[in-house]
Structures are given as C-alpha cells and as structure tokens.
Structure 1
C-alpha cells in the first residue's frame, strides 16, 4: 500500500472520528424558538437600540469582508504563483539557504505580508468601534494589543513551522503520520497553556472580591456539580464597554471569567444568569469538545496537505518541487486559508448549537426566565448587537443564537414550565 493510499485511509478514519464527536457531543436537537416569538421579542426591544446595532454592523461589514477578501487574494497570489517560493528563498539567503532560516524567516515574511495588507481594515474596525462608543482604547493602546497579537502568532506559528519542517526532514516518508500526531498534540497543548500564558498578556485577572455575589456563584457551581478553579474578573473596561463572560481552560486551568463591565452594567441576578450559562460549558465539557475537534481537524489538515502534495500541477503552479520543503510555505498558507474559509460556517453551526444548550441550562439552573430575558436584552443593547440579522449572513458567520432567538427561548421555556 502506497503512502498516499495509507494517508487517505487514515484521513477517512479521522473524518469518521470527527463525525462521531459531533454526533455524541453536540446537541443537534436544539432548535430556535418559534418565529412568532422572535418577532414579538424584536418588537419589545428599544427601537433606537435596534437601529444603532444594525447601523453599527453595517459600518463594520465593509471592513470585515474587505479584510477577508484581501487576505484570500494575497494568499492566492503568494501561494499559487512562484512569488511566494521566491520570497522564502530570498529571505533565507543570509543563512546560506539553510532550511531552518528559510522556514522561520520565510514563514514570518509570508505571514507578515498578509497582516500588513489587512492592517488598514483592522484600523477601520477600531475606528468604527471608537465612533460608536464601544471601544475605550486609545490608538496607542490598540497598537500595543495588535503587536502583542502579532508576537503571540509569531511564536505559535514559528513553533508549528519549525516542527513541521523538522518532521519532514527526519521522517521523509512518514512525515504525514508524525506531523498529524504532532499537530493534534499542539492543539491540545494550546488549550492548557492559553489561559495561563496568553490571556494574561491582554488582560489582568483578579479573583472576584468576597461578597454575596461571589458566594452565590460558587454555591451555584457546586449545586450544578461543576468543579471550577475560580471565578475571575477581567479588566476589560480598559479596552471596551462591551459585556461578556466565558469559560476557558480544562481540568486544573478551568476558570470562569467575567468582564468587569458586566458587573457594572447588569444586576446581580443577571450576573447569576450569565454565569449559569457559562457553567453549562464547563458541565458539558465544551472546551474538551472544541479541543477534540481542533486536534482531529489539525491532524486531518496535515493529511490533506500530504495528499495534495502529490498533485504535480499544484506544485508546478506554486513553483516548488515538494510540498514538504520550506519554499512551499506560501502554498501551505493558501491551503490553510481556503480550508479555514470553508470550515467557518460549520464551526459557527456547532457553536450556535452548543450556545443554545447553555442558554437552556441557564434557565434550568436559575428557574428565572424573566431575568434571563432582561439580561439578553441588555447584552444586545450594550454590545450593539444586531438582534435579528440576515439569516444567510448569520448562518455563515454567527457563533451564537441571535438576541431575539435567545429572548424567545426564555419565553418558550416559561410557557412550558
């Protein structure tokens, strides 16, 4: 059996494994509340807040899609012409053309080009956030965060690139198998290190101060059977007025994080509703689900790259002889970019289903649909959400149910209980 056939067989097994995880761990039975309830919920929201949210997203839309289109175009130009390979070769010359110099510097240059061409769109987005009063960051603070993001991406990307080409050199015939396993391990490792190494670069986290609210939240987690390391407050107010909370980490690093803006914008009862929602993610091990899907997806991507490496017309178009050589970095980038664009809607669908389960869980834990409805209305208003976006756009890009879907769910739950 050839390596290509063997790799294709393993890829098929991984795709089946992804399907199994999706079937067993994603609540596909959840469905939006009736449309009539959604329209009623929309009419109950302040008209000026709805108009402002829609205007805000209309202002963001050109920059969002412009950045995506330009990034894809640059990736295609660099990856599907000899230009990318020549750039990698050029930056590696000071190191005598050594493969490590080509891999590190070539990868950084290719990625940097993509970041630079989309930088104006990122600035556009920040300008819109400032104009609508959602961002509290100065341009200097925004630039610092941007550079931090570039630095984190460079470190993670550098590790991935060096690891990939090291494997291809050490295991010229079996690199697809070793690389797939390595990609899966890297994705799982990031789940553990991200909360403790990366998140603190952007926010300061402090334990929620002792008081009735903290006592209530920890007691609620205990009643729900969710082991939580801590409830932390993030100093999000230094960059945004948006309110949010999330669960991150797994096992010893799992914690619930609440924006300090949430504590100032909503009532304690609404905070309990938000945390009840987040407890669902911990109780259902949604971080583990995402980690499994990410690990299996990363391993599958390596196998896809190996299989595509046998397609001579693709290599000839990119101006490379072998997809496992550093000169093919731009080709790898365009494959990854296209794969990310195609996988986006599926990832959004999975996320929306999981978030719907978390909404239902919060209603069960608190037994207070009125507060949950109030909280969702306030979140939509403060965060300048479009409460009822275009269904097609929402299906392609939405990660959560819409505001009116969530309000309607609370009302439907109240009727049924």
Structure 2
C-alpha cells in the first residue's frame, strides 16, 4: 500500500469510529432501567428444577454444535485467506474480474457450508429430538439452499463494489467504497422485508378480533403508526414463539408468529407485541442500520490497512485477494460481536421496559417470558462469557427481574408448564 492509501484508510477508519461512537452515545439507551439493570431473578422463582435441567441439557449440545460450526468455518476462512491456497484457487478461475469475484465468493461459501454441514444436521436432529421443529428434512434443505443463495448474492454485491472501487480509484478506494457500502447497509435494511423475508415465510394480516383491536389501540396510544400486524407461518419451521420488527419507513412491519397468536393468551401475546411496538416507536431498526453503516466505514478503513500489510504486494483491485477479505471479515465479525450484542441487549431492555409501562401488566409479561423460555428450552443461566460474547438479548431471568423491580408487588412464583419434549 502506498502512503496515500494508508492515509485514506486511516481517515475512513477515524470517520467511521467517531460516527459510531457519536451515534451510539446519542441513540443507544445505555441505562434503560431506572437505577440500573438488576441482577437476574433466582431460577427457582420462575422455573421448576426439571425445567432448568431440561433447558441446560438442551443448551449444552446447542453450544457444542453451534460453536463447533463456528470454529470450522473460521478455520476454513483463515486457511484460504491467510495462506496462498486462496490465491491459487482464484487464479484458476477465468473470466472478467467481477465474475472471478463472484466465483470466489461462491466457491468459498460452498466449501465452508459443506464442511460445516455435519454440525447443521446434528443441530437439526437435536431440535427434532426435543420437539422444537416439525419441519420435514426437505423443507430444511430448501431453507438452507435459499439461505446460501442470499448469502452468496449479498456478499458478492459487497465484494464487487469493493474490488470495483479499488480498480477505478487505486489510491482513494477506501473512501469511495466505505461510502457505497454504508449506503448498501441502509438500502439492505430498507428492502429486507420486501425481498428476503418472503423467500422464507408467507405473511397474512392478523385476523379481526380482540387481539387485533387491542394491538391497534395500544399502537395508537403509544403513538406508533401501524397499518397492519402481519402473521408469519413460522410454525411450519419451529415450535418456538416469537415476533419481530423489520424495515423502516414505508417498509416497516410488525410480524408475529402464527403459533404465538394461537398458543398464547391474548394478554401475553399483547405483551410480546408491545415490546415490538416499542422497537418501532424508537426506530430501533434505523438505529441498528446507521450503526451498521458507520461500522462499515470502520471495517473498510481497517481492511485498507490490513490488505497493505497482508496482501502480498497485490492491489486491492485484484480478485485474488477475495479470500483474504472474507477471512478478515469473518475474524472481524467475531471480534466485534461483544460490542454489537452489548448494544442489542440495551435496546432490547428498553423495549421490555416500554412494554411493561405500556401494558401495565407485569404478570402477563412475566408469564409470557416464562412461556417463551420453556417452549424454546432457553438456558436460564448461560455461561457469563457466552452471554457477554453472543447474547443479543437479556436472559429470561434478567427480564423477569426487571419486571419485578418496576412492579415489586408481583408475586415470585408462577404456574408450571409441562416439559416440552
């Protein structure tokens, strides 16, 4: 890398870092619970001993298969990216530069998928054994193929933009690529509900009834514009219960799983939707998108510096460096996980607090948290380092403790739920 490239990379890195910190300070609720987030509730005040044991047994093997897949995928990325094997692989490919980029992304993604496939199959069997999915193996395979196609397409677009900028602007490519990739993050968040989600699920409006009326009244009371609440046919894939908000502006949608609507009492379902409406009211998808856009600037700046040090004197515009870029992306994503998840946990905590205040029904909130945890066999006491590194949401016991802190009159023990097998 010449001096102009290094200065440009440092400038992009600095701009991205300053933007990320400023946006995080401004938009992220770093103390969403008055007085601070309380320690988790005692497990036996929420779950029976059998429920705790079942969740811990299930989670143990989830971690084994999940972390095993992560380790193998990282080793594959690093083996191709930090040795000459990746360069040799790409040099065997023929065609224009952009086609070689796409072929390189496709080849490396498929190699990684094949080598981690045993972990995916073992995880799938584990879910079947515990009754957390009823989906046929054919549906599982179809979803995996669709996921791979989406991953290859989105990664290829990003890499083509990156390499194309480096070929067109050899000295100033970090600035141009950083700006374009930041824009793509925002565009991707905007179109995701319209382009990606329909590939995996079908959506229908929540039918008229008491729950729909309560949701629309709550949205109106909270000042959240909701044209409709959509129901996803998620039960064909999973028995767990969930809801989410995606998109922003004209593509924003509040989605609930069909089994949540059918299996939870209305007061508990309303507590779930109140949490999602809080995300919508605070434009949390926008917050995540602009933080992601600034993180893209940081990543491009770091990439420019790393390629200068590790690129074996090859310019960034050489498609042979695609394996190195993918390896750096994999390592960087893992290292950034604690910060990303810390931000996510604070945002999720604020949504919990807002949901409690909006519904004024802590009993329904706690029962809902308990039901969701029992249905999904969520580990109530995950290892602290695992929660720190990979936990995107507060634990169930932390969420229960928040409700009890805000509403201390709530009694500590709730009805048992049959163990899910």
Give the secondary structure class of the aligned counterpart of 1:30. coil
1:38 aligns with 2:41: yes
Q: Which moved more, 1:4-13 or 1:214-223?
A: 4-13
Partner of 2:384: 391
- Kept in 1, the 8 Å contact 2:164–2:317? The answer is no
User: Take 1:339 and 1:108, find their aligned partners in 2: how far apart are those partners?
Assistant: 20
Measured against aligned partners, the alpha-carbon deviations of 1:255-275 in whole angstroms (never above 9, x if no partner) come to 110001101221000011111
Instruction: Say if 2:345 is the partner of 1:342.
Output: no
Give the TM-score taking structure 2 as reference length. 0.93
1:30 touches 1:356 (CA, 8 Å); kept in 2? Answer: yes
Runs of 4+ in 1 over 6 A off after TM superposition: none
Deviates more, 1:99-108 or 1:57-66: 99-108
Are the equivalent residues in 1 in contact too, given 2:219–2:226 (CA < 8 A)? yes
Counterparts of 1:275 and 1:291, CA distance in 2: 22
What does residue 294 of structure 1 align with?
292
What residue number does 2:172 align with?
Answer: 174
Q: Residue by residue, what CA displacement relative to the aligned partner does 1:234-257 show, whole Å, maximum 9, x if unpaired?
A: 001101100000111101111110
Q: How far did 1:416 drift? A: 8.2
Secondary structure (helix, strand or coil) at the match of 1:256 reads: strand
- Contact 2:219 2:277 (C-alpha < 8 Å) held by counterparts: yes
Deviation at 1:33, TM superposition (A): 4.9
Does the alignment pair 1:24 with 2:20?
no
Q: Deviations along 1:177-209, whole A, 9 cap, x unmatched? A: 111111001100111111011101100000001
2:401 maps to 408
- Whether contact under 8 Å (2:135, 2:237) holds in the other structure is yes
Q: Which residue of structure 1 lines up, in the alignment, with residue 92 of structure 2?
A: 90
In structure 1, runs of 5+ residues without a counterpart are none
Cα distance, 1:351 vs structure 2: 0.7
State the partner residue of 1:378.
371
Gaps of 5+ in 2: 411-421
CA distance in 2, matches of 1:247, 1:148: 22
1:80 is matched with which residue? 82
Q: How does 1:17-416 map to 2 (within 5 A)?
A: 17-30=19-32, 33-35=37-39, 38-39=41-42, 42-92=44-94, 95=95, 98-311=96-309, 314-316=310-312, 321-415=314-408
Is 2:77–2:326's contact at 8 Å kept on the other side of the alignment?
Answer: yes
In structure 2, distance between residues paired with 1:251 and 1:164:
28
**How far apart, in 2, do the equivalents of 1:84 and 1:104 lie?**
14
Q: Structure 1 residues 229 and 249 mapped into 2: Cα distance closer, same or farther (>3 Å)?
A: farther
How far apart, CA to CA, are the structure 1 residues paired with 2:291 and 2:20?
6
C-alpha deviation, 1:291, in angstroms? 0.2
Does residue 11 of structure 1 match 2:4?
no
**Cα drift, residue 59 of structure 1:** 1.5
Residues 12 and 297 in structure 2, CA contact (< 8 A), matched pair in contact too: no
Offset, 1:102: 1.7
Q: 1:109-135, CA deviations, whole angstroms, 9 ceiling, x for partnerless residues?
A: 122211221111111111111111001
Distance 1:416 1:15, change over 3 A: farther
User: Cα deviations across residues 127-157 of structure 1 (Å, max 9, x unaligned)?
Assistant: 1111110011111110000001011112212
CA displacement, residues 355-401 of structure 1 (integer Å, 9 cap, x when unaligned): 11111001100011111111111111111111122222111111111
Q: CA deviation at 1:103?
A: 1.4
Contact 1:187 1:291 in 2 (8 A): yes
2: CA distance between counterparts of 1:355 and 1:169? 42
Query: 1: CA distance between counterparts of 2:409 and 2:180?
Result: 48
Structure 1 contact 102–326 (Cα < 8 Å) conserved: yes
Tell which has more relative contact order, 1 or 2 (C-alpha 8 A, sep 6+).
Answer: 2
Larger helix share, 1 or 2: 1
Contact 1:88 1:107 in 2 (8 A): no
SS across alignment from 1:38? coil
8 A contact 1:229–1:253 mirrored in 2: no
Alignment: residue pair count: 406
**Is the Cα contact below 8 Å between 2:254 and 2:276 reproduced in 1?**
yes
